[in-house]
Amino acid sequence: MNKKLMGALFGVFVSGSISAYAVGVTDEMLANDAKSTDNVLSWGMGTDAQRFSTLTDINTKSVSKLVPAWSFSFGGEKQRGQESQPVIYNGKMFVTGSYSRIYALDVKTGQKLWKYEHRLPEGIMPCCDVVNRGAALYDNLVIYGTLDAQLIALDQNTGKVVWKEKVDDYAAGFSLSAAPLIAKGLLLTGVSGGEFGIVGRVEARNPKTGQLVWTRPMVEGHMGYKYDKDGKAIENGITGTTNKSWPGDTWKTGGASTWLGGTYDNSTGLAYFGTGNPAPWNSYTRPGDNLYSCSTVALDLETGQIKWSYQTTPHDGWDYDGVNEFVTFDMDGKRLGAKADRNGFFYVLDAKNGKLENAFPFVKKITWAKSIDLKTGRPVYDEANRPGDPTKGKAGEKGETVFSAPAFLGGKNQMPMAYSPQTKLFYVPSNEWGMDIWNEPITYKKGGAFLGAGFTMKPVFDDYIGAMRAVDPKTGKIAWEVKNNAPLWGGVMTTAGGLVFYGTPEGFLKAVDAKSGKELWKFQTGSGIVAPPVTWKEGGTQYVAVVSGWGGAVPLWGGDVAKKVNLLEQGGSVWVFKLSK
């Protein structure tokens, strides 16, 4: 009897169900996830992260009949921000919670099947709350990252650990918060920790064993590696050119963390990762463009080599990052990719070669740059809006303070947008805010905050901060917007039923008309929503699910903005909805 059949039969014996184990998640299933309606196998509802569902049972006419099917509480006192997108397979929902927890739930009833709670050490250093954004599915495994920078693979049926790998040293500032990406049999992950002077990278592993295949650093001057079958590291070329855009030793603590994870496009065969801010924030310490920070980087899956890159904020001085998801789509016979960047501009690039096709603002107030030069692809800076050099004044004093917009939390942050091939619009959860920001003297210390800047967040307008916007990637026009008093921090989903679903910090899951933005339905979940919704079909019934639980970066870093949301209650639960009969 061959090993595959033995494994399948063993799974059937243990679970008591043929369907529960006999067929695991395959590469073919992941490649077709965006078209599948009975599962949600990946972060983004498809590796290209369009977050579009072809389901139509819940539509503009029927959505008013949407009612709760069940709700599940994460329990305990460990609430804080809940940013997870559930993944669903074979009658089970796998959803992560704050503090590196993960649950398996029955999708029809919400019954807990198992829970795994990773034991975290003292001294973890997540910069922006103790969040986790989700898990990946492969074969019979569910895989997720932890706040102490480990990757854990669990058996989908039992929750037992199959493998566990340390990614890096949490005491140096490393952590993991993004959902892993699986493409063509490889597990791709990034790292968090840019505020601590770590060096960002992308790793490829064997998802069945956790063994490294290759690593690619995201700061010029660092060596990439590939690994043989025995795990031996083999040099695989330096990223960029040492000291070309990072003077002296600045590249050694350069940041550019890959904290939001990546996307993959089947048609181009490339994986796309966004990179974070250069470290420290004080830009006068590191003259130059500081490649490959604040960029979208396209990677060859087999080798880990950078095929192309596009930098949205060269020589970043405002913590604008560049990690926002790169969503591929078709327009005018081309395969393109779109990115709503933290710096306030919306970018459209050729997904095959990274050539800039279009760039325009998607927020109303941008002060750091006047525009994006479509010929060079570079921003036209307003140099007067860069925070001042602290070395120009008295020793130990801060540099000149400027008011910059967007604020460092960005025109859009971790909350993923969605694209509808029906309307040909992107649905972008955006925020209008600014900041007083100044630079300070700074030196690197392992495990210490490596900023060299101070800031105070401020609202730009009196009547709203958040705005759900329908963006035309061809013209740059805003087709419609729905304003929200508090900042939007949860993701978006759109459907062939003509709907856009998104949550608000005030606790509402909302459904609006994809063409007009007209509100058609809402439900109060009891806590703020900072996670993206999903939908699928089970036993002939279409369901919608979202995780509820206020937290994330806004209440931690929000300054004057936080005063607007400090009355919101924390929570931790999954809500699932279906149409009433």
201-218 residues labelled b (16+ CB within 10 A) or e (exposed): bbbbbebbebebbbbbbb
Kind and range of the H or E element at 457?
strand 453-459
Three-class SS state of 141: strand
Are 24 and 145 within one domain? no
**Structural domain count of the chain:** 2
For residue 245, give the CATH number of its domain.
2.40.128.630
Rounded to an integer, what is the distance from CA 460 to the centroid of its chain?
A: 25
Are 24 and 138 within one domain? no
Q: pTM of the full predicted structure?
A: 0.95
Are 23 and 147 within one domain? no
Rounded CA separation 538/19 (Å): 14
Per-residue pLDDT tens, the chain, 581 aa: give them.
Answer: 444 334 433 343 343 333 444 579 999 999 999 999 999 999 999 999 999 999 999 999 999 999 999 999 998 767 789 999 999 999 999 999 999 999 999 999 999 999 999 999 999 998 889 999 999 999 999 999 999 999 999 999 999 999 999 999 999 999 999 999 999 999 999 999 999 999 999 999 999 999 999 999 999 999 999 999 999 999 999 999 999 999 999 999 999 999 999 999 999 999 999 999 999 999 999 999 999 999 999 999 999 999 999 999 999 999 999 999 999 999 999 999 999 999 999 999 999 999 999 999 999 999 999 999 999 999 999 999 999 999 887 766 899 999 999 999 999 999 999 999 999 999 999 999 999 999 999 999 999 999 999 999 999 999 999 999 999 999 999 999 999 999 999 999 999 999 999 999 999 999 999 999 999 999 999 999 999 999 999 999 999 999 999 999 998 887 788 877 888 889 999 999 999 98
Per-residue pLDDT tens digits for 411-457: 999 999 999 999 999 999 999 999 999 999 999 999 999 999 999 99
Per-residue pLDDT tens digits for 319-340: 999 999 999 999 999 999 999 9
Structure token pair of residue 136: 């990946």
Per-residue pLDDT tens digits for 140-152: 999 999 999 999 9
Q: Given CA atoms 375, 263, 149, 527 in this order, what sign does their dihedral have?
A: positive
Q: Which of 284, 300, 323 is the last residue of a domain?
A: 323
User: Is residue 19 a part of any domain in this protein?
Assistant: yes
Is residue 319 part of the annotated active site? The answer reads yes
What is the model's pLDDT at position 395? 66
Range of the domain at 9: 1-28
Q: Which one, of 145, 224, 201, lies nearest residue 178 by Cα?
A: 145
Three-class SS state of 250: helix
Rounded to an integer, what is the distance from CA 499 to the centroid of its chain?
A: 22
Which of 148, 168, 289, 319 is an active site residue?
A: 319
Rounded to an integer, what is the distance from CA 519 to the centroid of its chain?
A: 26
Q: Which of 299, 323, 347 is the last residue of a domain?
A: 323
User: Is residue 194 a part of any domain in this protein?
Assistant: yes
